[in-house]
Chain A
Amino acid sequence: MSKKKRFGISEALTRGLSETINVVENNSGVFRNIVLPLSRIELDPDNPRKLAIDLADVRAGIRPDDPHYLRKQEELDKLKELAHTIKTSGVINPVVVYKLGETYRIVAGERRCLASILAGKQEIEARVFNEKPKGFELKLIQWVENTAREDLTLDERLGNVREIIREYLLQHGDVEVTATLLKNITGLSLSQTTYYLAALNAPDDVQMEIHNGNIRNLDKAALIASVASPDLRRQAIDACINGSSLKEIRSIISQQKMLKKSRVSLQASTRGRNTTRINMGSTLKAEVIKTIVESVVNRKEFDKYMDIFSQVNWMDLRQTSKAFRKLIEIMETEMAV
């Protein structure tokens, strides 16, 4: 007798059924993607808008007597660029709207909507929320949309994060917002959230320079904000304004810090094996070695060795290393006497 046969539904079918059920359970009634007539879409007056231009300007043209004529004209030119790509390849990401009576209000995608109208489109693909997202969710959606944009200033991005944190605190009570928490909320990397927090909590002078657009880079802002001494911070800010790279600013800061630190102490750890010789360290800059060698042989008691080093090619790291070893050897010999 053969074994009794067992029956069951196939693995593929089980997976298909389970996945479908999970999609419904997790998403029903939350949002839907549909194609909306642009005529039914309106801007949300409650959202903090960075654009001066509005629907009426795009539909009917900017009035010459408009007080913001120049700014709006500039925005319109940028929208026309976007409209051009929309004409050829459409809107790639759906905009986000929520339903309000017969119309739909934009949560994210003002520029895409305005540019679509300019491109002569009648409809736009939209992700529709059935109700207005709660403050926190709304800010988060706008934030996520905004991080994908490159035309936001650091000040605007920081403003976004500040809003997210404010809404989060409103909803969750007064908790300490750490970089890890911010990471969980926004989905950004830990280093990014650390930078954002540092920039948000930056001293007033740094905040002001960010606001004025003099510090435009998050990494630099965070780095400068970490400098406690007002004088040194000023130096770093100036370097930043003068176009120094992150690396350069970092080296200015660490140089100054080192000066300060070495004045205080050069205490070394006493842990580990006894130290029987001195480690000379290493450097990438041959110039450092050249300076040491020159300052030694310029001393009277060593000037007889000057010729040995006159032929060294200081551009060559290997030769420089050899020269440095030779110098140590000479000094040990001289001082042993």
Chain B
Amino acid sequence: MEIIAFVNNKGGVGKTTCSKLMAEYLSKTMNLRTLCIDFDPQCNFSHQYLRMEIDPAAPEGLMPPIHPDYDPADPDDQDWDGRSSIAEIFYGQGVVPYPTYVPNLDIAPGHAEKLLTAESVRRSEVVDKVHKQLANFLNSSDVHAAYDAVVIDTAPSKGPLTISVMKAATHIIIPSVMEEQPVQGIYGMLQLWMQESLIREKNRPLQLIGILPNMFKQTRLHKDILTSLQESSAIGKYVLPVKFSQRIVFAEVDAADSNPRSIFDFQEQHVAKTEAMEVCSYIAERIFA
């Protein structure tokens, strides 16, 4: 089971869009049993597949809807409120992934309030537990038996949530817009990658697939910054040879009532589909070949 995470502590660089495309590529095109994990308290990834609900306890936060398998009459579900997010791992409760409209694709959604609580812990012994919790969950035999791939969308932060993703992941990809601030976000992620790499066992390294130029526009700014990254001897080999262009259609399919719902359901020659196929197949090749 490969655990792929999209990370960058700068927001708005397209982590969710990349996660979604990758998850759909793996499940739709490669027929891999794929689990999406939304580790961002903003819950945008979850919202792609589920009708997230407003949390009455925290009006600004979202929480997962009632699980389709929840049956209040079933004695097994007696102690369950019918909602399950990935944040349950911090509360000692089971995670029940939700099916999506894509066969083979499940999601363990976020829960704003609970994820924010985990992100805000500062006491060292608790932080340590938070750091290890996602890895513990994903290493469990149940998860290994149920899925071939896991795709994690992360919060734009360097805090406990992102660190726990670093500890759990087998591969990370850093999407970035080719502009100064998002590139600084790459630095933050490389720092976490370094910290994690130095304490990992040799036989399960955290592999940096690379920096994925995202929302690329043929402007001097984007081209110059991409070139300067590519030309640096150390960084250059981690700049992926593929990229996502700035296309409104990537945002359009995110809308709740869009049709088709996935880029991969577009007709063959569609420029956005061609590009998504090229990027995702390159990354999948690197991970699964």
A and B associate in one complex: yes
B194 at the interface (CB under 8 A from A): yes
A13 in contact with B187 (CB, 8 Å): yes
Q: Does B232 contact A (CB under 8 A)?
A: yes
- Residues in B with CB closer than 8 Å to A13 are 183-184, 187
For A20, what are the chain B residues with a Cβ–Cβ distance below 8 Å? Answer: 187, 190-191, 193-194
Q: Which of A7, A28, A31 contacts B221 (CB 8 A)?
A: A7
CB of B132 to closest CB in A, whole Å: 14
Is B202 in contact with chain A by the CB < 8 A criterion?
A: yes
A8 touches B224 (CB 8 A): yes
What A residues does B193 contact at CB under 8 A?
Answer: 20, 24
- Which partner residue on chain B sits nearest A17 by CB separation? B235
How far, in whole Å, are A14 and B220 apart by their CA atoms in the complex? 19
Is the contact region of chain A dominated by helix, strand, or loop, or is it mixed? mixed
- A22 in the interface (beta carbon within 8 A): yes
In the complex, what's the smallest C-beta–C-beta distance from B207 to chain A, in angstroms? Answer: 10
- In the complex formed, the residue of A with least CB distance to B222 is A7
Closest approach, in angstroms, between the C-beta of B222 and any C-beta of chain A? 8
C-alpha spacing A20/B189, complex, angstroms: 10
Cβ A28 vs Cβ B224 within 8 A: no
Contacts of B122 in A (CB 8 A): none
A29 within 8 A of B: yes
A17 touches B190 (CB 8 A): yes
A1-28: contact bitstring with B at CB < 8 Å (1 yes, 0 no)? 0001111111001101111111110011
- For A, the interface residue count at a CB cutoff of 8 angstroms equals 27
Asked if residues B201 and A29 are in contact (CB atoms below 8 Å), the reply is: yes
Answer yes or no: A34 CB below 8 A from chain B CBs.
Answer: yes
Expressed in whole angstroms, the minimum distance between the Cβ of A236 and any Cβ of chain B is 52
Q: Give the distance in Å from the alpha carbon of A29 to the alpha carbon of B202 in the complex.
A: 4
A130 touches B201 (CB 8 A): yes
Please give, as numbers and ranges, the residues of chain B lying within 8 Å of A285 by CB-CB distance.
Answer: none
Q: A28 and B190 in contact (CB under 8 A), knowing A7-B224, A9-B183, A17-B234?
A: no
Decide yes or no whether A131 CB sits under 8 A from chain B: yes
User: B229 to A9, Cβ gap below 8 A?
Assistant: yes
Contact A29 B190 (CB under 8 A): no
Q: What residue of chain B has the Cβ atom nearest to residue A18's Cβ?
A: B234
- Chain B neighbourhood of A21, CB < 8 A: 190, 234-235, 238
Q: Mark contacts of B216-251 with chain A using CB atoms, 8 A cut-off: 1 yes-contact digit, 0 otherwise.
A: 000011001101110011110010000000000000
B-chain residues with CB within 8 Å of residue A5 when the two chains form the complex:
220
B:184-213 near A, CB below 8 Å: 184, 186-187, 190-191, 193-194, 197-203, 205, 208
Cβ–Cβ contact B228 & A9, under 8 A: yes
B225 lies within 8 A of A8 (CB): yes
The complex places the Cα of A130 from the Cα of B197 at a distance, in Å, of 12
The answer to whether B199 touches A9, judged by C-beta atoms less than 8 angstroms apart, is no
A31 CA to B199 CA in the complex, in Å? 7
In the complex where A13-B184, A13-B187 touch, is A23 in contact with B228 (Cβ < 8 A)?
A: no
CA distance A14 to B194 in the complex (A): 16
Query: Which residues of chain A (249-295) have a CB below 8 Å from chain B?
Result: none
Name the distance in Å between B198's Cβ and chain A's nearest Cβ. 5
B173 to chain A: closest CB distance in Å?
Answer: 15
B196 smallest CB distance to A (angstroms): 9
Q: A4 vs B190: C-alpha distance in the bound complex, in angstroms?
A: 32
Q: When the two chains form their complex, are residues A27 and B199 in contact, meaning their CB atoms are under 8 A apart?
A: no
Interchain CB contact under 8 A, B194 and A23: yes
Q: Which residue of B has the minimal Cβ distance to A28?
A: B197
Q: Which residues of B contact A234 (CB under 8 A)?
A: none
Residues of chain A in range 85-99 having any CB-CB distance to chain B below 8 Å:
none
Tell me the residues in window 145-193 of chain B with beta carbons closer than 8 Å to chain A beta carbons: 180, 183-184, 186-187, 190-191, 193
The answer for the CA separation of A213 and B231 in the assembled complex, in Å, is: 61
Partner of A22, one of B180, B198, B234: B234
Cα–Cα, bound, A23→B191 (Å): 10
> Does B228 contact A14, Cβ atoms closer than 8 Å?
yes
**CB atoms of B194 and A24 under 8 A apart:** yes
Q: How far is the CB of A17 from chain B (nearest CB, A)?
A: 5
Once bound together, how far apart are the Cα atoms of A24 and B207, in whole Å?
10
- Are B198 and A28 in contact (CB-based, < 8 A)? yes
A22: B residues at CB distance < 8 A? 234
Q: Closest CB of chain A to B233's CB: distance in Å?
A: 7
CB distance from A21 to the nearest CB of B (A): 5
A137 to chain B, nearest CB (A): 14
Please judge, given known A-B contacts A4-B220, A7-B220, whether A17 and B225 are in contact too, CB under 8 Å: no
Specify the chain B residue showing the minimal Cβ separation from A30: B202
* Bound complex: CA A1 to CA B200 (Å): 55
- Whose C-beta in chain A lies nearest to the C-beta of B179? A7
| B221 proximity list for chain A (CB < 8 A) | 7
Q: Could you list 18 further interchain pairs (A-B, Cβ under 8 angstroms) beyond the known A7-B228, A17-B234, A20-B187?
A: A6-B220, A7-B220, A7-B221, A7-B225, A8-B227, A9-B183, A9-B225, A14-B232, A17-B186, A17-B235, A18-B232, A19-B234, A20-B190, A21-B238, A23-B194, A24-B198, A27-B198, A29-B197
Q: List 17 A-B contacts (CB under 8 A).
A: A6-B224, A8-B225, A8-B228, A13-B184, A14-B235, A17-B232, A18-B234, A19-B234, A20-B190, A20-B191, A24-B194, A24-B197, A24-B198, A24-B208, A27-B197, A27-B198, A30-B202
* Interface residues of B, Cβ cutoff 8 Å to A: 180, 183-184, 186-187, 190-191, 193-194, 197-203, 205, 208, 220-221, 224-225, 227-229, 232-235, 238
